[in-house]
Amino acid sequence: MTQRDADAAPDATPQIPQRRVLVTEIPGPRSRELSSRRLRAVAQGVSSTVQTYVDAAAGAIVRDVDGNCLIDLGSGIAVTSIGHAAPALIEAVSEQVARFSHTCFMVAPYEGYVAVCEELAELTPGRHEKRSALFNSGAEAVENAVKIARHATGRQAVAVFDHAYHGRTNLTMALTAKNFPYKDRFGPFAPEVYRVPMSYPLRDPKGMTGEQAAARAIDQLSVQVGAENLACVLVEPIQGEGGFVVPAPGFLPTLASWCAEHGIIFVADEIQSGFARTGAWFACDHEGVVPDLVTTAKGIAGGLPLAAVTGRAELMDAVHVGGLGGTYGGNPVSCAGALAAIRTMRELDLPAAARRIEAQVRPRLDSMAKRHSGIAEVRGRGAMLAIELADPDGLRPDASSAQAIARACHAKGVIVLTCGTWGNVIRLLPPLVISGDLLDEGLDVLEQAAVDVLG
């Protein structure tokens, strides 16, 4: 906390005008000072996208310690969908932390946990009877989804896809596709994980349908693993870290019905794509796919750490009493944050806001792609949109241009993130409450950065 904030009334909420303001170069002197302190205290394995240190944030603006105000088109990786410092979140979390901050739900339970599970039952795909269990991080939710699927089926094998990202714990490293930086020299990894091809329209054979891409994966699983050995198929309905890969229509429904036929649990990892981000409450909703289990985290609680596994009551309740849990899982402050975030998403109709963002952003990305042959594809859904940088003929990934464009945006006060198996995708994940003007200004900067880098 800065001295300025410490002097303010304790309940003062940061009021930051929703404008990009650059008062120093980025990073400025105070950020550079913090960077050198950091070098002596923080493990270098933990990296940061931008080198500017945050002082406060509100709406879609992040103010740094030098007074620069940056446009946030990353939302802390799809977390602050309701915007920074959302008033409902501040109020609910402050009230809860003053009432009690922890009892451990496994020791002495409380209403907030139950209410979050009720909301999850209401909002996740499907009208069947559901149960939820709450955790701290996305990776922990994915680990627990696999535990539940194995327990409920008595089977061990887990199927995952090329380009998948499911976390950084030991089991989730095994589930994640990309070696560097996530897995390199961190093995050995958990066994009984089988990887099959994803539907990746840009890089699949021309004209391959979603059904055909699913058949390709299903054939490999049938031959190499055996349907009867599979506990679950785990898939991101739109891949996040892997490059915002949107499978061709038909891929997810075909996989889901094959799973149902063979008693395999279909698990949708909606940690990045969920909670209004793609223009529906969940990305599975776009094709009417109803997963057996859904993992959620990121956008669920407006920035407080919370994650969940939600699924069919008979699967979730198959686990013995005491088989699921953790000290902090479903922390009361995080639950208060989630209830406020979900209320805000409903009140402001943030799924519709995500669709409006798509209507504004996609034409601009399309026109960039028309101008620059190095932009191989514009893809995504709702407020989860990306451009893939690649050589126009061979589709050879162009990570250096993607990184250069991102760095140019950062220097001009716009936070954008990259992703993709080859690091050659620029992704946009703005807060869903961003104004049209601010979004346009951020896109102006991105467009100019692309011209500077690609010519």
Ligand X SMILES: *Cc1c(COP(=O)(O)O)cnc(C)c1O
**Which residues of the shown chain bind ligand X in the complex (CB under 6 A)?**
137-139, 142, 165-167, 236, 240-241, 269, 271-272, 297-298
Between residues 161 and 165, which has the closer beta carbon with respect to ligand X?
Answer: 165
Other C-beta atoms closer than 10 Å to the C-beta of 283 total 26
Quick one: tokens of 249?
A: 């229509």
Rounded to a whole number of angstroms, the minimum distance from the CB of residue 72 to ligand X is 17
Rounded to a whole number of angstroms, the minimum distance from the CB of residue 176 to ligand X is 8
Angle between helices 350-371 and 436-454 (to 10 degrees): 20
Between residues 119 and 241, which has the closer beta carbon with respect to ligand X?
Answer: 241
Return the amino acid letter for 205: P
Rounded to a whole number of angstroms, the minimum distance from the CB of residue 111 to ligand X is 25
Between residues 16 and 383, which has the closer beta carbon with respect to ligand X?
Answer: 383
Rounded to a whole number of angstroms, the minimum distance from the CB of residue 78 to ligand X is 7
Between residues 64 and 241, which has the closer beta carbon with respect to ligand X?
Answer: 241
Rounded to a whole number of angstroms, the minimum distance from the CB of residue 444 to ligand X is 28
Rounded to a whole number of angstroms, the minimum distance from the CB of residue 244 to ligand X is 11
Between residues 165 and 275, which has the closer beta carbon with respect to ligand X?
Answer: 165
Return the amino acid letter for 101: S
Rounded to a whole number of angstroms, the minimum distance from the CB of residue 287 to ligand X is 18
- 258 bridge partner residues: none
Between residues 53 and 165, which has the closer beta carbon with respect to ligand X?
Answer: 165
Rounded to a whole number of angstroms, the minimum distance from the CB of residue 449 to ligand X is 25
**Closest residue to ligand X: CB criterion:** 138
CA distance 82 to 343: 10
Torsions phi, psi of 17, nearest 5? Answer: -55, 140
Q: Rg (Cα) of the chain, in Å, rounded? A: 22
CA distance 297 to 238: 15
Rounded to a whole number of angstroms, the minimum distance from the CB of residue 104 to ligand X is 20
Between residues 283 and 449, which has the closer beta carbon with respect to ligand X?
Answer: 283
Rounded to a whole number of angstroms, the minimum distance from the CB of residue 307 to ligand X is 6
Nearest to 306 by CA among 109, 112, 62: 112
Quick one: tokens of 321?
A: 């009493």
Between residues 84 and 166, which has the closer beta carbon with respect to ligand X?
Answer: 166
Between residues 119 and 236, which has the closer beta carbon with respect to ligand X?
Answer: 236
Angle between helices 332-347 and 111-123 (to 10 degrees): 40
Rounded to a whole number of angstroms, the minimum distance from the CB of residue 274 to ligand X is 9
Between residues 237 and 442, which has the closer beta carbon with respect to ligand X?
Answer: 237
Between residues 69 and 164, which has the closer beta carbon with respect to ligand X?
Answer: 164
